[in-house]
Amino acid sequence: MSNLLGRHRAVMPRWVSLYYDDPIEIVSGKGRRVTDSDGRSYLDFFGGILTNMLGYDVPEVREAVERQLRTGVAHTSTLYLIRTQVELAEKIAELSGIANAKVFFTNSGTEANETALLLATNARRSDQVLALRNSYHGRSYAATAVTGNRSWKNSSLSPVNVHYLHGADRARFTHLSDEEFQAFCVDDLQHVLDTATATDVACLIVEPVQGVGGFTAAPDGLLARYREILDRYGILLVSDEVQTGWGRTGEHFWGLQAHGVTPHIMTFAKGLGNGFAIGGVVADGTLMDALPANGISTFGGNPIATAAAKATLDYLLAHDLQANAHRLGRLLIDGLRTAADRLPVVRDVRGKGLMFAVDLVDPGTGAPSASLAARVLEHAKERGLLIGKGGLYGHTLRMAPPLTLTEAEAREGLGILVDSLAAAC
């Protein structure tokens, strides 16, 4: 065991788990490639868990941060005006599609979702929340409470009352057609509202494509049908776009747009700062302003993070990376589907844009196989490709390369993935 790994294990919590039998330390990066402390280079198809959205060492982001650092000011607090914060909020409010939107910046996705739940429960004077099975919304008290995935559910204690809905668990209902499944889900939501909840419900929180859950999603259009019902009761819709925002899904800028619906509240984090810590919540201004007391997030929206985020967003829009995600996502997903025909360990290939996944099963029993997923991760690493895993049973490979991926890199990564899957068969 390397010295650093031993030291890590001695002082870091057991539940902060590391990838690989022999975990790596990434010491440098450029573009879509990183190098570890042994000098080995990897093509990165996980981007620090969808966070290095533009890749590594992007001059525009580096220069924006260096410019801010040169002023001598890394932090001022929200007691004072922060120009980049206001400019970034204006941009996000406009991009959100939410009318009269206001934005509050946080340091993480968890904190963003906490804020969204605070807004919704305050506005509705209710502690009842709906969430989707298999969801992940963060690690704090309330975010854990709306998380429907046992692997990440550290407590059942909760500041909110949660009811879980079907939708993203399509794979459990293969005996139903798409239309039958949607009708079942809609009926189930109505049944929950009629029979299980105590009158007023604050909100439904959803990931348009579930991240940790293995890039599973409710069929397109279902969340619009949910919204139709929710609207009858005034129940708010919260879209957790922490993984799906900024064009990653290719077909849309926000994941929820696949359902043809706009949320009341949207949360974001991860990719926005291209590695710098920033998250936030964007909501209808009246909803946002309705909190009765003061609120700050000391580091939220600080000058460094907002400078990085603004540069990242400008770059993303100027280079139309959503279109790139769409085009290369197609190439990768189609390529994997073709290869899957001759790979008995592959149960399902799915995804949108540069957010795609492969489910692995034991070819003998058809049971989800977490050990196979771990093996493919090792094979990919040996061949110079970093990928992720997840899913309800830990049996899903998750790929989400930086949105700046080139076609050559997409083909290279696809080749390694297919080889790694074949090696695990």
Strand partners, 41: 35
Q: Are 108 and 138 in contact (CB under 8 A)?
A: yes
114 lies in the binding site for ligand PLP (CB under 6 A): no
For the bound state, the minimum distance from the C-beta of residue 138 to ligand PLP, rounded and expressed in Å, comes to 4
Among 137, 225, 310, 389, which residue interacts with ligand PLP (rule: CB under 6 A)?
Answer: 137
Can you tell me whether residue 423 is helix, strand or coil? helix
Taking CB under 6 A as the criterion, the residue among 211, 255, 391, 413 binding ligand PLP is 211
CA dist 273 and 270 (Å) reads 7
**Given the complex with ligand PLP, which of 312 and 369 has the nearer CB atom?**
312
Assess 242 for contact with ligand PLP (CB under 6 A).
yes
Instruction: Kindly tell me which of 270 and 379 has the beta carbon lying closer to ligand PLP.
Output: 270
**Segment near ligand PLP (CB under 6 A), from 8-16, 132-140, 281-289, 412-420?**
132-140
DSSP 8-state secondary structure symbol assigned to residue 210: B
Q: Which of 115, 86, 90 is nearest to 269 (CA)?
A: 115
CA–CA gap between residue 74 and residue 233 (Å, rounded): 45
- Comparing CB distances to ligand PLP, the nearer of 273 and 303 is 273
Pick from 199, 216, 205: which is nearest to 267 by CA?
A: 205
Cα–Cα distance between 185 and 170 in angstroms, integer? 10
- Applying CB under 6 A, among 115, 128, 243, 369 the residue interacting with ligand PLP is 243
Whichever of 238 and 340 has its CB closer to ligand PLP, that residue is: 238
Q: Is 302 among the residues that bind ligand PLP (CB under 6 A)? A: no
Closer residue to ligand PLP (CB): 211 or 353: 211
The Cα–Cα gap between 312 and 337 comes to 32
Render 272-313 in DSSP notation, one character per residue: GGTTS--EEEEEEHHHHHT--S----TTTT-HHHHHHHHHHH
Residue 113 binds ligand PLP, judged by CB under 6 A: yes
Cα gap 103→86, rounded to integer Å: 9
Judged by CB under 6 A, the chain residues 221 through 240 that form the site for ligand PLP are 240
Q: Which is nearer to ligand PLP, 329 or 388 (CB)?
A: 388
Q: Which of 48, 55, 109, 401 binds ligand PLP (CB under 6 A)?
A: 109
Q: How far is the CB of 151 from ligand PLP (least distance, A)?
A: 12
Q: Least distance from C-beta 50 to ligand PLP, angstroms?
A: 7
Instruction: Identify the burial level of 36 via C-beta atoms within 10 angstroms of its C-beta, where 0-12 means exposed, 13-18 middle and 19 or more buried.
Output: middle
- Of the pair 243, 420, the CB lying nearest ligand PLP is at 243
Q: Which of 52, 68, 96, 110 binds ligand PLP (CB under 6 A)?
A: 110
Structure tokens at 269: 């984090």
Collapsing DSSP to helix, strand or coil, 267 comes out as strand
> Which value, to the nearest 10 degrees, does the dihedral of the CA atoms of residues 24, 30, 33, 38 take?
-30
| 210 versus 420: smaller Cβ distance to ligand PLP | 210
The verdict on 376 binding ligand PLP (CB under 6 A) reads no
Contact residues toward ligand PLP (CB under 6 A) are 49, 108-110, 113, 136-138, 207, 211-212, 240, 242-243, 269, 279
